Structure 1
Amino acid sequence: MPRKAVALVGVTNSKGSGVPNPLAPRSHGIELLRLFRGGPKAMWALAEGLLWTPGNDGLCGVSLHENVRYLVTGSLHGAKPWVSACGFVRPWNSLTRKQRKGFQRLYQQGCRCSVRLQPGPNTQCEWETAFRGVEDCQEQYAMCVPQANSGCTWLGGTPYR
Protein backbone atom coordinates (compact mmCIF):
# COMPACT_ATOMS: atom_id res chain seq x y z
CA MET A 1 0.00 0.00 0.00
CA PRO A 2 1.39 3.43 -0.89
CA ARG A 3 2.38 5.78 1.94
CA LYS A 4 0.49 9.08 2.11
CA ALA A 5 2.08 12.51 2.37
CA VAL A 6 0.97 16.14 2.64
CA ALA A 7 3.52 18.80 1.73
CA LEU A 8 4.01 22.42 0.77
CA VAL A 9 6.27 22.58 -2.30
CA GLY A 10 7.61 25.29 -4.56
CA VAL A 11 7.73 24.36 -8.25
CA THR A 12 11.08 25.12 -9.88
CA ASN A 13 10.41 23.62 -13.33
CA SER A 14 8.11 21.27 -15.21
CA LYS A 15 9.18 18.67 -17.71
CA GLY A 16 7.89 15.60 -19.47
CA SER A 17 9.42 12.19 -19.28
CA GLY A 18 11.68 12.90 -22.25
CA VAL A 19 9.73 10.32 -24.24
CA PRO A 20 7.32 11.66 -26.93
CA ASN A 21 4.40 9.74 -25.42
CA PRO A 22 1.38 11.51 -23.87
CA LEU A 23 0.84 8.51 -21.60
CA ALA A 24 4.33 8.73 -20.08
CA PRO A 25 4.51 10.30 -16.61
CA ARG A 26 5.56 13.93 -16.14
CA SER A 27 7.82 15.24 -13.44
CA HIS A 28 7.96 18.66 -11.83
CA GLY A 29 11.12 19.99 -10.26
CA ILE A 30 10.27 21.07 -6.72
CA GLU A 31 11.72 22.43 -3.53
CA LEU A 32 10.23 20.92 -0.37
CA LEU A 33 9.18 23.84 1.81
CA ARG A 34 7.37 21.91 4.55
CA LEU A 35 6.21 18.36 5.18
CA PHE A 36 2.92 18.31 7.10
CA ARG A 37 2.34 14.56 7.02
CA GLY A 38 4.62 11.71 6.04
CA GLY A 39 7.58 9.99 7.59
CA PRO A 40 11.27 9.88 6.78
CA LYS A 41 10.65 8.09 3.47
CA ALA A 42 8.38 10.92 2.28
CA MET A 43 10.91 13.53 3.44
CA TRP A 44 13.72 11.75 1.57
CA ALA A 45 11.65 11.22 -1.61
CA LEU A 46 10.50 14.86 -1.77
CA ALA A 47 13.99 16.14 -0.95
CA GLU A 48 15.16 14.49 -4.19
CA GLY A 49 13.46 17.43 -5.92
CA LEU A 50 11.01 15.67 -8.27
CA LEU A 51 7.24 15.28 -8.01
CA TRP A 52 5.59 12.84 -10.44
CA THR A 53 2.13 12.92 -12.02
CA PRO A 54 0.36 10.94 -14.76
CA GLY A 55 1.15 12.10 -18.30
CA ASN A 56 -2.09 13.93 -19.11
CA ASP A 57 -5.29 15.29 -17.59
CA GLY A 58 -7.30 12.32 -18.86
CA LEU A 59 -5.20 10.09 -16.60
CA CYS A 60 -5.70 12.48 -13.64
CA GLY A 61 -2.37 14.22 -14.23
CA VAL A 62 -1.92 17.73 -12.87
CA SER A 63 -0.10 20.70 -14.37
CA LEU A 64 1.90 22.79 -11.93
CA HIS A 65 3.22 26.26 -12.74
CA GLU A 66 6.77 27.35 -12.08
CA ASN A 67 7.44 29.71 -9.18
CA VAL A 68 4.14 28.85 -7.48
CA ARG A 69 3.87 27.26 -4.03
CA TYR A 70 1.39 24.36 -3.84
CA LEU A 71 -0.12 22.35 -1.06
CA VAL A 72 -0.17 18.79 -2.36
CA THR A 73 -1.43 15.48 -1.05
CA GLY A 74 -0.12 12.36 -2.65
CA SER A 75 1.53 9.02 -2.15
CA LEU A 76 4.86 7.34 -2.43
CA HIS A 77 5.09 4.57 -4.98
CA GLY A 78 8.45 3.00 -4.41
CA ALA A 79 10.78 5.94 -3.88
CA LYS A 80 8.82 8.36 -6.08
CA PRO A 81 6.33 10.93 -4.75
CA TRP A 82 3.16 11.07 -6.91
CA VAL A 83 0.28 13.55 -7.09
CA SER A 84 -2.87 13.41 -9.17
CA ALA A 85 -6.16 15.20 -9.71
CA CYS A 86 -7.70 12.67 -7.30
CA GLY A 87 -5.76 14.28 -4.46
CA PHE A 88 -5.68 17.82 -3.11
CA VAL A 89 -3.43 20.08 -5.22
CA ARG A 90 -3.97 23.82 -4.71
CA PRO A 91 -1.83 26.96 -4.89
CA TRP A 92 -1.01 27.90 -1.28
CA ASN A 93 -2.21 31.48 -1.78
CA SER A 94 -5.65 30.24 -2.92
CA LEU A 95 -6.36 28.49 0.39
CA THR A 96 -8.56 30.17 2.99
CA ARG A 97 -7.02 31.25 6.30
CA LYS A 98 -8.82 28.33 7.95
CA GLN A 99 -7.33 25.84 5.49
CA ARG A 100 -3.78 27.19 5.93
CA LYS A 101 -4.13 27.12 9.72
CA GLY A 102 -5.52 23.61 9.50
CA PHE A 103 -2.61 22.27 7.49
CA GLN A 104 -0.07 24.11 9.63
CA ARG A 105 -1.44 23.12 13.04
CA LEU A 106 -4.78 21.39 13.34
CA TYR A 107 -5.43 18.65 10.77
CA GLN A 108 -2.99 16.25 12.39
CA GLN A 109 -5.35 16.08 15.40
CA GLY A 110 -7.97 14.52 13.11
CA CYS A 111 -5.74 11.83 11.62
CA ARG A 112 -7.86 9.01 13.07
CA CYS A 113 -10.92 10.48 11.33
CA SER A 114 -11.61 10.26 7.61
CA VAL A 115 -13.98 11.93 5.18
CA ARG A 116 -16.40 9.98 3.02
CA LEU A 117 -18.96 10.82 0.33
CA GLN A 118 -21.78 8.67 1.73
CA PRO A 119 -23.05 7.74 5.24
CA GLY A 120 -20.83 5.37 7.16
CA PRO A 121 -19.39 4.68 10.62
CA ASN A 122 -19.15 7.49 13.19
CA THR A 123 -15.35 7.51 12.81
CA GLN A 124 -15.88 9.33 9.52
CA CYS A 125 -17.38 12.68 8.50
CA GLU A 126 -19.80 12.79 5.58
CA TRP A 127 -18.73 15.33 2.94
CA GLU A 128 -22.12 16.89 2.27
CA THR A 129 -20.96 19.76 0.03
CA ALA A 130 -18.56 17.80 -2.21
CA PHE A 131 -17.97 19.02 -5.76
CA ARG A 132 -19.61 22.43 -5.30
CA GLY A 133 -16.47 24.33 -6.25
CA VAL A 134 -16.26 27.76 -4.63
CA GLU A 135 -19.47 27.01 -2.73
CA ASP A 136 -17.94 23.99 -0.98
CA CYS A 137 -17.99 25.38 2.54
CA GLN A 138 -16.86 22.14 4.18
CA GLU A 139 -13.68 22.04 2.08
CA GLN A 140 -12.91 25.71 2.64
CA TYR A 141 -13.96 26.35 6.25
CA ALA A 142 -14.29 23.09 8.22
CA MET A 143 -12.27 20.11 9.34
CA CYS A 144 -13.19 16.60 10.40
CA VAL A 145 -12.05 16.18 14.03
CA PRO A 146 -12.33 13.50 16.72
CA GLN A 147 -14.94 13.73 19.47
CA ALA A 148 -14.59 12.50 23.06
CA ASN A 149 -16.93 9.55 22.33
CA SER A 150 -14.51 8.14 19.69
CA GLY A 151 -16.64 9.52 16.85
CA CYS A 152 -15.77 12.30 14.40
CA THR A 153 -17.58 15.51 13.47
CA TRP A 154 -17.17 18.63 11.34
CA LEU A 155 -15.71 21.65 13.13
CA GLY A 156 -15.89 25.03 11.44
CA GLY A 157 -15.96 28.74 12.10
CA THR A 158 -18.56 31.37 11.24
CA PRO A 159 -18.24 31.06 7.41
CA TYR A 160 -19.06 27.32 7.70
CA ARG A 161 -22.26 27.90 9.67
Structure 2
Amino acid sequence: MTWTVHTCLITLAILCVWQAEVAETCSCIWRLPQQQFCSADVVMKAKVLGGLKVGKTKHGSLHIKEYNIKQLKMFKGKCTKINTVSTFTSSSLCGITLKYNTEYLLSGSLRDGKMHVSSCDFVRQWDTLTDSQREGVVSQYEQGCGCKIVHCYSSPCAASSSAECLWGDEATETKLFGKRTTGYTCTMKSDKSCAWCKNGGKNCIDLKDA
Protein backbone atom coordinates (compact mmCIF):
# COMPACT_ATOMS: atom_id res chain seq x y z
CA MET A 1 0.00 0.00 0.00
CA THR A 2 2.84 2.38 0.92
CA TRP A 3 4.53 1.73 -2.44
CA THR A 4 1.28 2.40 -4.29
CA VAL A 5 0.72 5.68 -2.46
CA HIS A 6 4.33 6.70 -3.12
CA THR A 7 3.97 5.88 -6.81
CA CYS A 8 0.75 7.88 -7.03
CA LEU A 9 2.41 10.89 -5.38
CA ILE A 10 5.31 10.77 -7.83
CA THR A 11 2.91 10.49 -10.78
CA LEU A 12 0.87 13.41 -9.46
CA ALA A 13 4.02 15.51 -9.07
CA ILE A 14 5.07 14.74 -12.64
CA LEU A 15 1.63 15.70 -13.94
CA CYS A 16 1.72 18.97 -12.00
CA VAL A 17 5.11 19.85 -13.49
CA TRP A 18 3.92 18.90 -16.98
CA GLN A 19 0.77 21.03 -16.61
CA ALA A 20 2.83 23.98 -15.39
CA GLU A 21 5.13 23.68 -18.41
CA VAL A 22 2.18 23.48 -20.78
CA ALA A 23 0.53 26.48 -19.11
CA GLU A 24 3.71 28.52 -19.63
CA THR A 25 4.11 27.67 -23.31
CA CYS A 26 3.66 30.49 -25.81
CA SER A 27 0.54 29.96 -27.90
CA CYS A 28 -0.09 31.82 -31.17
CA ILE A 29 -2.90 31.61 -33.68
CA TRP A 30 -1.20 30.45 -36.89
CA ARG A 31 -1.43 33.09 -39.61
CA LEU A 32 0.02 33.69 -43.04
CA PRO A 33 2.65 36.48 -43.34
CA GLN A 34 0.10 38.68 -45.10
CA GLN A 35 -2.33 38.30 -42.20
CA GLN A 36 0.44 39.19 -39.77
CA PHE A 37 1.28 42.24 -41.88
CA CYS A 38 -2.32 43.44 -42.01
CA SER A 39 -2.94 43.02 -38.28
CA ALA A 40 0.30 44.79 -37.25
CA ASP A 41 0.40 48.43 -36.20
CA VAL A 42 3.92 48.84 -37.54
CA VAL A 43 5.95 46.96 -40.18
CA MET A 44 9.47 48.03 -41.05
CA LYS A 45 12.96 46.99 -42.05
CA ALA A 46 15.47 47.72 -39.31
CA LYS A 47 18.97 46.87 -38.15
CA VAL A 48 19.40 45.70 -34.58
CA LEU A 49 22.30 47.61 -33.08
CA GLY A 50 22.36 46.22 -29.55
CA GLY A 51 20.42 45.52 -26.40
CA LEU A 52 19.29 47.87 -23.68
CA LYS A 53 18.73 47.13 -20.02
CA VAL A 54 15.95 44.80 -18.94
CA GLY A 55 13.03 46.47 -17.24
CA LYS A 56 9.45 45.85 -16.28
CA THR A 57 6.14 46.68 -17.89
CA LYS A 58 4.21 49.75 -16.85
CA HIS A 59 2.39 47.72 -14.20
CA GLY A 60 5.65 46.18 -12.98
CA SER A 61 4.59 42.55 -13.24
CA LEU A 62 6.22 41.31 -16.45
CA HIS A 63 9.85 41.68 -17.47
CA ILE A 64 10.74 43.08 -20.88
CA LYS A 65 13.94 43.69 -22.81
CA GLU A 66 14.58 46.39 -25.36
CA TYR A 67 16.70 46.49 -28.49
CA ASN A 68 18.28 49.58 -29.93
CA ILE A 69 17.55 49.66 -33.67
CA LYS A 70 18.23 51.73 -36.76
CA GLN A 71 15.07 52.17 -38.81
CA LEU A 72 15.83 51.56 -42.49
CA LYS A 73 12.43 51.46 -44.21
CA MET A 74 8.88 51.91 -42.96
CA PHE A 75 6.29 49.76 -44.75
CA LYS A 76 3.30 50.32 -42.48
CA GLY A 77 2.61 52.75 -39.65
CA LYS A 78 2.46 56.47 -39.11
CA CYS A 79 5.33 56.66 -36.62
CA THR A 80 8.01 58.96 -37.93
CA LYS A 81 10.86 57.44 -35.94
CA ILE A 82 11.28 54.30 -33.83
CA ASN A 83 14.62 53.80 -32.13
CA THR A 84 13.82 50.83 -29.88
CA VAL A 85 11.62 47.72 -29.89
CA SER A 86 10.64 45.74 -26.83
CA THR A 87 9.74 42.11 -26.23
CA PHE A 88 9.12 39.94 -23.19
CA THR A 89 12.20 38.30 -21.72
CA SER A 90 10.43 34.94 -21.40
CA SER A 91 9.85 32.74 -24.45
CA SER A 92 6.81 31.32 -22.63
CA LEU A 93 5.27 34.79 -23.02
CA CYS A 94 6.19 34.78 -26.72
CA GLY A 95 9.32 36.85 -26.21
CA ILE A 96 12.00 36.64 -28.90
CA THR A 97 15.76 37.09 -29.18
CA LEU A 98 17.21 39.29 -31.92
CA LYS A 99 20.78 39.14 -33.20
CA TYR A 100 22.94 42.24 -33.01
CA ASN A 101 24.19 43.91 -36.20
CA THR A 102 21.53 42.08 -38.19
CA GLU A 103 18.80 43.44 -40.47
CA TYR A 104 15.25 42.30 -39.77
CA LEU A 105 11.73 42.66 -41.01
CA LEU A 106 9.92 43.71 -37.84
CA SER A 107 6.17 43.80 -37.40
CA GLY A 108 4.35 44.37 -34.14
CA SER A 109 2.04 46.44 -32.01
CA LEU A 110 2.25 49.91 -30.53
CA ARG A 111 1.89 50.09 -26.75
CA ASP A 112 2.13 53.44 -25.00
CA GLY A 113 3.82 54.84 -28.08
CA LYS A 114 6.43 52.07 -28.18
CA MET A 115 6.79 49.14 -30.57
CA HIS A 116 6.46 45.63 -29.14
CA VAL A 117 7.31 42.43 -31.02
CA SER A 118 6.72 38.76 -30.24
CA SER A 119 7.07 35.31 -31.75
CA CYS A 120 3.44 35.64 -32.90
CA ASP A 121 4.39 38.55 -35.18
CA PHE A 122 5.97 38.52 -38.63
CA VAL A 123 9.62 38.89 -37.56
CA ARG A 124 12.30 37.51 -39.89
CA GLN A 125 15.92 38.15 -40.69
CA TRP A 126 15.75 40.22 -43.86
CA ASP A 127 18.05 37.95 -45.86
CA THR A 128 15.83 34.92 -45.15
CA LEU A 129 12.71 36.41 -46.75
CA THR A 130 11.60 34.95 -50.06
CA ASP A 131 11.27 37.22 -53.09
CA SER A 132 7.48 37.05 -52.86
CA GLN A 133 7.57 37.98 -49.15
CA ARG A 134 9.77 40.99 -49.85
CA GLU A 135 7.49 42.06 -52.69
CA GLY A 136 4.53 41.53 -50.37
CA VAL A 137 5.72 43.80 -47.57
CA VAL A 138 6.95 46.45 -50.00
CA SER A 139 3.84 46.78 -52.16
CA GLN A 140 1.47 43.79 -52.32
CA TYR A 141 0.24 42.75 -48.86
CA GLU A 142 -1.44 46.06 -48.10
CA GLN A 143 -3.62 45.75 -51.22
CA GLY A 144 -5.36 42.78 -49.62
CA CYS A 145 -5.83 44.08 -46.09
CA GLY A 146 -9.48 44.74 -46.92
CA CYS A 147 -9.89 41.05 -47.82
CA LYS A 148 -10.35 38.10 -45.50
CA ILE A 149 -8.18 35.01 -45.76
CA VAL A 150 -10.26 31.98 -44.80
CA HIS A 151 -8.47 28.86 -43.56
CA CYS A 152 -10.08 25.66 -44.77
CA TYR A 153 -9.81 22.69 -42.44
CA SER A 154 -11.86 20.24 -44.49
CA SER A 155 -12.66 19.62 -48.11
CA PRO A 156 -14.71 20.72 -49.98
CA CYS A 157 -14.42 24.34 -48.89
CA ALA A 158 -16.17 27.34 -50.39
CA ALA A 159 -15.93 31.09 -49.89
CA SER A 160 -18.97 32.71 -48.29
CA SER A 161 -18.38 36.02 -50.08
CA SER A 162 -16.36 37.48 -52.94
CA ALA A 163 -14.20 39.32 -50.40
CA GLU A 164 -12.55 36.11 -49.22
CA CYS A 165 -9.44 34.20 -50.28
CA LEU A 166 -9.37 30.50 -49.43
CA TRP A 167 -6.27 28.86 -48.03
CA GLY A 168 -5.66 25.32 -46.76
CA ASP A 169 -2.93 22.84 -45.96
CA GLU A 170 -2.08 19.64 -47.85
CA ALA A 171 -5.01 17.81 -46.28
CA THR A 172 -7.46 20.25 -47.89
CA GLU A 173 -5.48 20.99 -51.03
CA THR A 174 -7.45 22.18 -54.06
CA LYS A 175 -6.66 24.34 -57.03
CA LEU A 176 -7.92 27.39 -55.14
CA PHE A 177 -5.36 27.50 -52.36
CA GLY A 178 -2.45 25.77 -50.67
CA LYS A 179 0.72 25.20 -52.68
CA ARG A 180 -0.74 26.82 -55.76
CA THR A 181 -0.80 30.19 -53.98
CA THR A 182 2.97 30.22 -53.42
CA GLY A 183 4.19 33.58 -54.67
CA TYR A 184 0.65 35.03 -54.69
CA THR A 185 -1.01 37.48 -52.29
CA CYS A 186 -4.66 37.89 -51.42
CA THR A 187 -5.53 41.02 -53.38
CA MET A 188 -8.61 43.22 -53.67
CA LYS A 189 -9.36 43.78 -57.36
CA SER A 190 -11.02 46.79 -58.98
CA ASP A 191 -14.48 45.25 -58.60
CA LYS A 192 -13.86 44.87 -54.81
CA SER A 193 -13.66 41.09 -55.05
CA CYS A 194 -10.62 39.27 -53.65
CA ALA A 195 -8.40 36.65 -55.24
CA TRP A 196 -4.90 35.23 -55.06
CA CYS A 197 -2.85 37.43 -57.41
CA LYS A 198 0.72 38.26 -58.36
CA ASN A 199 2.51 40.82 -60.52
CA GLY A 200 0.57 43.66 -58.98
CA GLY A 201 -2.80 42.02 -59.46
CA LYS A 202 -2.30 41.26 -63.15
CA ASN A 203 -2.33 37.48 -62.78
CA CYS A 204 -5.03 36.10 -60.51
CA ILE A 205 -6.54 32.74 -59.60
CA ASP A 206 -10.29 33.13 -59.95
CA LEU A 207 -13.00 30.82 -58.58
CA LYS A 208 -14.09 30.00 -62.11
CA ASP A 209 -10.68 28.44 -62.74
CA ALA A 210 -11.31 25.72 -60.10
TM-score (norm. length: structure 1): 0.74
Match in the other structure for 2:113: 79
Q: 1:99, 1:140 within 8 Å by CA — same for their partners in 2?
A: no
Percent identity between the aligned chains? Answer: 29
- The change in CA–CA distance for 1:87 and 1:127 in structure 2 (over 3 A counts) is farther
Residue of 105, 117, 120 corresponding to 2:139: 105
More helix by share: 2
Match in the other structure for 2:186: 144
Structure 1 unpaired stretches of 5+: 131-135
User: What amino acid maps onto 1:43 in structure 2?
Assistant: T
Distance 2:167 2:52 in 1: 35
Deviations 1:4-42 (A, max 9, x none): 1111110001245157x9940111110100000111xx2
- Structure 1 segment 58-137 matched on structure 2, within 5 A: 58-118=92-152, 121-129=161-169, 137=179
> Which consecutive segments of 4 or more residues in structure 1 shift more than 6 A?
none
Q: 1:144, 1:152 within 8 Å by CA — same for their partners in 2?
A: yes
Match in the other structure for 1:4: 41
Paired residue total: 146
More strand by share: 1
Kindly state the Cα deviation for residue 112 of structure 1 after the two structures are TM-superposed: 1.7
Q: CA RMSD in A?
A: 3.1
Q: 2:55, 2:64 within 8 Å by CA — same for their partners in 1?
A: no
Distance 2:133 2:44 in 1: 13
Bigger RCO of structures 1 and 2 (CA < 8 A, at least 6 apart): 1
User: What amino acid maps onto 1:145 in structure 2?
Assistant: T
Q: 1:22, 1:56 within 8 Å by CA — same for their partners in 2?
A: no
- The change in CA–CA distance for 1:7 and 1:64 in structure 2 (over 3 A counts) is same
Structure 2 unpaired stretches of 5+: 1-38, 153-158, 171-177, 200-204, 206-210
Return the index of the structure with the highest Cα Rg: 2
